[in-house]
Amino acid sequence: MTIENYANFKKVFVQKIHAHWLTNKNITLHVLRLDVLHPVVSGNKWFKLQYYLQDATAKNYTAIATFGGAYSNHILATAYACKQQGFNCIGIIRGEEAKVLSHTLVQAKSLGMELQFVTREAYKNKEAIQHQAPNIYWIGEGGYGALGMQGATDIVKLVPDLDQYTHIICAIGTGTTLAGIVAAATHQKVIGISVMKGNSELHQHIASLLNEDDKLKNWEIDHNYHFGGYAKYNNALLQYMREVWHQYQLPTDFVYTAKAMFATEHLIKQELISRQSAILLIHTGGLQGNASLPAGTLPF
Ligand SMILES: *Cc1c(COP(=O)(O)O)cnc(C)c1O
């Protein structure tokens, strides 16, 4: 099923950022706004899911299950996509059930996802969990895998005039999306901003999704912009998000896209991205995650 089949999906677009720190280095920065796709399944998650759902349909599965934490955009996107396509859906959630469910889990549940909470210890052994339910179509945590990466290549196909860009930048969780971007890149340098602290396995995880030719393309992971680790933030990051909103009307999420935007600006100012570059930043969505911040933290 393509985006057009979803009546309530909006058209993504490219936003040009106007700023002194760009013009004074003769750099252009465009943001691919995947966040506008849909309020619930915004961003890269729907792209990563589409071929898994197709595969599950082709193999006559009626139920889909996947893994994630209490704030996982992937859990919510899976719940939504399964409802759309008529699959029963189970979310294996890391950790004990909280007295008050997160905003993400409340939404996933209301979309019909059955939530199964497992201890952090049990969660580590995903194969054992999958083994107990062989009649279910299992999607890896975060949509990691070959079909997820194939779906992510479709993101790049949406970009008008791709060849004008010298760089593509994107936040990384599992690396599935980055792998798809690398596979679909023509000549661009692809930079992934890891949102985890010192995730040393990331390079291998991404490389193992790429074929031999794509592995040799110009791509790298930057580990310097995690702000303390996955889903960690500080006042400087929140302040930066407010500024980005006021100056460019660009909403970001504190887990992924704010860190990617911050990194982009910093790399440019440090001249780690050279003058005259034409950069495409992928806004991977995920704005629903901001609902876990205290009310009133952000102006959008
Ligand atoms: C999940 C997510 C990512 C990371 O995607 P991966 O394919 O796991 O690397 C980036 N941005 C947002 C907003 C996400 O929700």
Mean pLDDT for 97-114 is: 95
Name the pLDDT band for 161 (thresholds 50, 70, 90). very high
Name the pLDDT band for 4 (thresholds 50, 70, 90). very low
Task: Inform me whether the pLDDT recorded for 203 exceeds 90.
Answer: yes
- pLDDT value of residue 1: 43
Q: How far is the CA of 271 from the centre of ligand 1 (A)?
A: 26
Name the pLDDT band for 7 (thresholds 50, 70, 90). very low
Helix (H) or strand (E) holding 169, with range, is: strand 167-172
- pLDDT value of residue 41: 80
Ligand 1 pocket test target in 75, 154, 256, 264 with most atoms within 8 Å of CB: 256
| pLDDT 10s digits, 117-160 | 999 999 999 999 999 999 999 999 999 999 999 999 999 999 99
Which letter does DSSP use for residue 294 in this model? P
What tokens does 125 get? 């052994």
- Please, which residues bridge with residue 15 across strands? 31
Task: Inform me whether the pLDDT recorded for 228 exceeds 50.
Answer: yes
Task: Inform me whether the pLDDT recorded for 8 exceeds 90.
Answer: no
- pLDDT value of residue 11: 84
- pLDDT value of residue 256: 97
Q: How far is the CA of 143 from the centre of ligand 1 (A)?
A: 9
CA-to-CA separations, 119 to 41, 95, 97, in angstroms, rounded: 27, 5, 9
Rounded Cα gap, residues 249 and 19, in angstroms: 13
Task: Inform me whether the pLDDT recorded for 219 exceeds 80.
Answer: yes
| pLDDT 10s digits, 22-68 | 999 999 999 999 999 887 887 899 999 999 999 999 999 999 999 99
Longest dimension (CA), the chain: 59
Please list every protein residue whose CB sits less than 6 Å from any atom of ligand 1: 43-45, 73-74, 142, 171-178, 253, 256-257, 284-286
Ligand 1 pocket test target in 40, 72, 76, 172 with most atoms within 8 Å of CB: 172
What tokens does 230 get? 């996955």
Mean pLDDT for 17-24 is: 98
Return mean pLDDT, the chain. 95
Q: How far is the CA of 24 from the centre of ligand 1 (A)?
A: 31
